Amino acid sequence: MPMKITDVRVLPVNRFLFVEVETDTGLVGLGESGAWGFLDASAEAVRSFATCLVGQDPLRIEHHWQYMYRAFHFRGAAIMGALSAIDIALWDIAGKHFGAPTYQLLGGRCRDRARVYYHVGGKTTEEIVRSIVDAKARGYTAVGHLTPFLDEDRSVPYYETHAQKIGRAIDRVRQYREAVGDDVDLCIEIHRRLKPAEAIALARGIEPYHPFFIEDPTTPDNFDSMVHIAEHIDIPLATGERFHTPQEFALLVNKRAVDYVRPDVCLCGGITGAKKIAALAEANDIMVIPHNPLSPVSTAACLQIAASIPNFALQEYPGDDRASATERYIGGKTEDTDKSFRQSDVVKNALRVVDGYMPIPDLPGIGVELAPDAVNRFPYERRPVRTRLHVDGSVVDQ
């Protein structure tokens, strides 16, 4: 008799949404949704998908992926986050069933460790520089989530002239580079806040400082805008964290408007979706940098991709010794004001970084388990709706 799914459980914790898939053999798989601000909607999508999964064989992963993906003719963050969480949990079950890390079922290891880039930030240039220098001292060889525009509070009305906006941003990148020399790669994060002309001006200005990439310089809605930027700059472009489907990545790849694809394993269709996107990228000589601003569960899922694909470049790592990225960048909390919670608290065994690399684990499945008391210890918090405004009252992208 084949193994059967007996339950699909939704577990909201802190600012994360986890999913556990239970089986009649006692094996339990763990996954995470990356829908960010729409986790409540994603939870309901999980519950809808559960109605077609209970009683099914959890090892028919591709079949279940196709069934969920094509069931309702709709996509979007909430739906794809739900599908992703379930898919990761199914791969976790498969690894445990066969007594092997999930990456072994994906073709085995291509590397023994994954180079990571560490989140840095600050509300002033000095704070960011100190954060970069500290990361270097801790052994990191790449830093990211690195904005040239500061992590200012979204409640503060924004205004700069064009000259100030671009000039100050270029000068900050100069200071970042001078602070650590060429020993640390700088992954420049724009968070879609520029129009194409602004993005081109900024990219040309920071080119002498050799950033690893410039990420999401403009909104992801119009692919031709990214094409326009790509045609006018000589810095590698990275994007994809807001894409939900392999087809979206294919459109941008075919337009030659991306150098590093950034699939979010918890949003793009899970491990199954990320593997499809990585293969598409490989066929077009494009490298993969999995997006990962989430929990240690997301990190563990990302490592299955990092281990098993030949075209892996770098792994985003928000740091498990700190509060969640949502709390730090959206909720306004910092390491100085919130000492009570660390991301590593939600799991039994968070993965570790050694000299800027994360060793590929050899535990069955994805290699992490939720802490048994996580749901009660860290009650779920809905992400607040906080959009920054200009001094004239209009909306600013940040």
Q: Tell me the pLDDT of the chain averaged across its residues.
A: 94
Q: So what's the pLDDT on residue 331?
A: 58
| Catalytic residue (one of 97, 145, 244, 291) | 291
**What CATH number is given to the structural domain containing 82?**
3.30.390.10
Quote the number of domains for the chain. Answer: 2
110, 221: one domain: yes
pLDDT tens by residue, 234-273: 999 999 999 999 999 999 999 999 999 999 999 999 999 9
Confidence tier at 186 by pLDDT (50, 70, 90): very high
221, 355: one domain: yes
pTM above 0.85, yes or no: yes
Confidence tier at 9 by pLDDT (50, 70, 90): very high
73, 150: one domain: no
Q: Per-residue pLDDT averaged across 118-144, rounded?
A: 96
Q: So what's the pLDDT on residue 247?
A: 94
pLDDT of 374 over the 80 cut:
yes
Question: Structural domain of residue 229, as residue ranges?
Answer: 105-365
Phi-psi bin for 319: left (phi > 0), alpha (psi -120 to 50), beta? left
234, 248: one domain: yes
Residue 395 lies in a domain: no
Residue 116 lies in a domain: yes
292, 147: one domain: yes
pLDDT of 328 over the 80 cut:
no
Percent above pLDDT 70 for the chain = 96
Q: Per-residue pLDDT averaged across 134-161, rounded?
A: 94
19, 132: one domain: no
112, 90: one domain: no
147, 268: one domain: yes
Residue 227 lies in a domain: yes
Residue 391 lies in a domain: no
Residue 390 lies in a domain: no
| Catalytic residue (one of 73, 97, 191, 244) | 191
In the listed set 102, 134, 161, which residue is the last one of a domain according to the structure?
A: 102
**What CATH number is given to the structural domain containing 344?**
3.20.20.120
Catalytic annotation on 291?
Answer: yes
pLDDT tens by residue, 294-308: 999 999 999 999 999
Q: Per-residue pLDDT averaged across 26-54, rounded?
A: 96
Residue 229 lies in a domain: yes
